[in-house]
Chains A and B, each alone.
Chain A
Amino acid sequence: MSKENTITIDNKQFAFKAGETILEVAKRNNIFIPTLCHLKETTPTGACRICIVEVKGARDLVPSCAAPAVSGMFVRSESPEVIKARKNIIQLMLASGNHNCAIRKFEPDDWTSFHLKVLKEDNYNELCPVWGDCKLQDLAYRYQVVTKLLPVSLSKYPMETVNPFIIRDFSRCILCGRCVQACREIQVNNAIDFGYRGAKAKIVAGADVPLKDSDCVFCGECVQVCPVGALIPKETFKNKKRFEKTETVRTTCSYCGVGCQMELTVQDNKIVEINGAEDVEPNRGSLCVKGRYGYDFVASPERLTTPLIKKNGKLEEASWDEALGLVAARFTEIKTKHGADLMGVLTSARVTNEDNYIAQKFTRSVLKTNNIDHCARL
């Protein structure tokens, strides 16, 4: 290991590639450095400063997401000074808005009474919608930052709910800017940005209009990257039962041909949330409005649940045995009477390869015709 391209983090030497940041080197080597505003593949902003580390010889603590690794650098990722500064940052963030994270030193209690005590003390009647799934809360626990006795600032801006997909709760926004990065540098929809200054700072859409009146196309990238409860998927908030078991299933989106990889969150045999699968080609975590929010059809009451047979001009419910028997009999009859070349099959660009293979095998080997096609052209 030549000295030219190594840095030392927590007394261990690591090689790095030119241009890599301290954070990237640390992450690659499984050294924990907390981040909030940092978003992969975008320009580091150093806005939240939670990723600060101690660099020997530097006057101040250094934000590791924006600082390039320099040969011979000596870094401490979690020194007492770093911990103290991080505690401070977290405390300020918690105080900056509505963060009833229930971080308390109550006596061991059952969950309900603990919860009620916290709500009472915080003077809230609702628990944060991302309680238990919040990066800020995780950090508050890790660094044991207690919210008790912190004055809770009320948001200067009301919650926005006037669109079908996303709830914007400004009272929980920590202004980390990840949503802005996601919107401007990943999806490049340029719908949102920082607006106003100082204490009035706010993430605004267009000229501070509701999302639905802006350039927003509801891809939900901002919701997926929001580390706190400032951006919430509306349907999930409505349908997902909190603190109850969910399952996550990775699959391929069923809309266009891009084939985005996604994670379905399932609860009680129902999809309650969809997120892009991170770090996987072809979509690297991104989705569009249809892929992310267009899943109602799966559990729609309009789904067909039983075979139907037309009788006296009307479709009536039938058993599988009756329906399949009729189809097989009529196909056989038409084949005998008119020949297979007057019969056809339309398979589908919507079903799996396996379904398609069986459809063409059926057409060619059972019906004995090549009259098979699908809507590739439509």
Chain B
Amino acid sequence: MTNTIADIETADVILVTGSNTTENHPVLSTFIKRAALKGNTVIVVDPRKIKLTEHSQNWLRPNPGTDIAWINGLMNVIIQEKLHNSEFIKNRTEGFEAIQESVKLYTPEYVEKITGIPAHDIIETARLFAKADKASICYCMGITQHTCGTDNVKSLANLSMLCGHLGKAGGGVNPLRGQNNVQGACDMGGLPNVFTAYQKVDDPNAIKKYEAFWNITGLSNKPGLAVTEMIHKAEKGEFKSLYIIGENPLVSDPDLNHAEKGFRNLEFLVVQDIFLTETAKIADVVLPSFCFAEKNGTFSNTERRVQRVRKAVEAPGFAREDWKITCEIATRMGTNMHYNSAEEIFKEIRQVTPSYAGITWERIEKVGIHWPCPTVDHPGTPILHTTKFTRGKGLFHAIHHQPPAELTDEKYPLVLTTGRVLYHYHTGSMTMKSDGLNEMSPECFVEISQNDAAKLDIVDGEMVNVFSRRGKIKAKLSISSKAVDGTVFIPFHFAKAAANRLTNAKIDPVAKIPEFKVCAITIQKAA
């Protein structure tokens, strides 16, 4: 997030898109709901009639996979009505001419044709957003999990820059990150192309720095493969081993039938986890590790706040701490890796990670600090880009609408979008151990509109088979007021009816994120 969680509540207008906030970030959603309660404007743009629409002034309902079009539509109106922030554009950005030209095509009427959002709603929303003193954009996987995910995000950045809503309190472009330490995993270089703090692996200076610091030679300067690419290669026999720490891709990966083949094709698979997950079951070696309540360390949250994790209980049996297991493997492979504590590792992290350099465990004992925090007397950075952007001037990108990788047709007439529910988390390996959570959300369901269910002549609660071009699952039909005609939602938590047997593994070429939010399906009554 460019801004903080608390900051959202201070925005005059909050645009929430592709985020079912009340179910996926329940506590963060309270900031949005309180803002609405105080009379601030909340606008929801989402294909589902999510709970947050009850708190919003406007709900815009785009056809799945048409985000660039509606965002360009808003910009078209803003520029047409001269509501853009010329001062900000002149001083802080470049490339305005390019988008001025590119969004000309996206008149409200044209956008209505693509997105299904009425033209007058586009106009009204554009005015609300542009005229606001402070407007915040919050988005989540509904924006990113598309083959054009990167372009969707760039479009939101265009919109925010156009109105000068970046670099100030109550503004910003705020991705709501879905996992406790997804921010930290990225910051720590758990990505194929960067070391810690996003230092590029093909930058000779970064390589030199790390080789000197780790006292080794021969670091690879070739960016590595993303998980989706590794699995694809494994399926063809071109990838040999994987060491998986605390993940369960055999439920969370797209197009599972293919992914499964890839994993089974590996010569050697090691899974380190707290449970015998679907992925661990097919491993050659399974290593038992600690859960969060047994560890000391840090997590970095969605607002870049580095916070302490503290040991509360002893781990069961012979389980070991994750970093200790990895160090032991390294040592047995001939590279001595030894630390006495997690804090000692954090001290090493600070030395090679400029954005964490000023953060110490002592400083975050009570309250976490937002990176970048370059020195120990630096207070941290709650709001990014206040005086300049990372690259200097903010660059506008001219972007055009691209249809999703898979479209509906006669055989597969419905659009499937996947996501989570309030009572479960990701592949359920943790939440499904709670009887209470299971009682509230016992099984997979296929959320569909009343009209679509009537067309299929299937009643609420009946078992159905759902088919896509890649697979089939069987689950209960659930008629819901959240669903809109033509679009079906299935949560991906449940291994027994894994929605990812249906999803498309087509990825965004830059971010390599799969298109979980759009694929074509058909539904039949189960025999």
What would be 25 A-B contacts, judged by CB atoms less than 8 Å apart? A165-B436, A188-B30, A251-B310, A254-B180, A257-B183, A282-B27, A288-B26, A290-B437, A307-B287, A315-B283, A342-B238, A348-B246, A350-B181, A352-B309, A352-B322, A352-B323, A355-B326, A360-B189, A365-B210, A365-B214, A371-B192, A374-B227, A377-B228, A377-B511, A377-B513
* B301 touches which of A164, A212, A259, A373 (Cβ 8 Å): A259
* A306 touches which of B242, B318, B325, B516 (Cβ 8 Å): B318
Q: Which residues of A contact B323 (CB under 8 A)?
A: 352, 354-355, 357-359
A148 to chain B, nearest CB (A): 39
Q: Mark A178-196, 1 if CB is under 8 A from B, else 0.
A: 0000000111100000000
A42 to chain B, nearest CB (A): 10
Q: Does A74 contact B (CB under 8 A)?
A: no
A113 to chain B, nearest CB (A): 36
List residues of chain A with CB under 8 Å of any chain B CB. Answer: 164-165, 185-188, 212, 217-219, 234-235, 247, 249-261, 264, 266, 269-271, 280-283, 286-291, 293-300, 302-310, 315, 320, 323-328, 330-332, 334, 338, 340-362, 364-366, 368-378
* B285 touches which of A269, A283, A287, A307 (Cβ 8 Å): A307
In the bound complex, do residue A289 and residue B298 qualify as a contact, i.e. CB atoms below 8 Å apart? no
Of chain B, the residue at the smallest CB distance from A247 is B312
Q: Which residues of A contact B337 (CB under 8 A)?
A: 358, 361-362, 366
Q: Which residues of B contact A297 (CB under 8 A)?
A: 274-275, 291, 429-431, 433-434
Q: Which residues of B contact A370 (CB under 8 A)?
A: 192-193, 201, 220, 222-224
Q: Does B512 contact A (CB under 8 A)?
A: yes
Q: Total A-B pairs in contact (CB under 8 Å)?
A: 464
Q: Mark B173-203, 1 if CB is under 8 A from A, else 0.
A: 0001111111111111111110110000100
* Assembled-state Cα–Cα distance A310/B280 (Å): 11
Q: Does B80 contact A (CB under 8 A)?
A: no
In the bound complex, do residue B178 and residue A353 qualify as a contact, i.e. CB atoms below 8 Å apart? no
* Assembled-state Cα–Cα distance A293/B216 (Å): 46
Known: A251-B293, A258-B301. A357 touches B349 (CB 8 A): yes
* Assembled-state Cα–Cα distance A303/B239 (Å): 30
Of chain A, the residue at the smallest CB distance from B507 is A377
* A217 touches which of B26, B192, B219 (Cβ 8 Å): B26
Q: Mark B276-295, 1 if CB is under 8 A from A, else 0.
A: 10001101111111011111
In the bound complex, do residue B276 and residue A266 qualify as a contact, i.e. CB atoms below 8 Å apart? no
Q: Does B454 contact A (CB under 8 A)?
A: no
Known: A303-B275, A357-B189. A351 touches B319 (CB 8 A): no
A240 to chain B, nearest CB (A): 14
Q: Which residues of B contact A377 (CB under 8 A)?
A: 144-145, 226-228, 511-514
Q: Does B24 contact A (CB under 8 A)?
A: yes
Q: Does B423 contact A (CB under 8 A)?
A: yes
Q: Does B302 contact A (CB under 8 A)?
A: yes
Q: Which residues of B contact A355 (CB under 8 A)?
A: 245-246, 297, 321-323, 326
* Assembled-state Cα–Cα distance A217/B27 (Å): 12
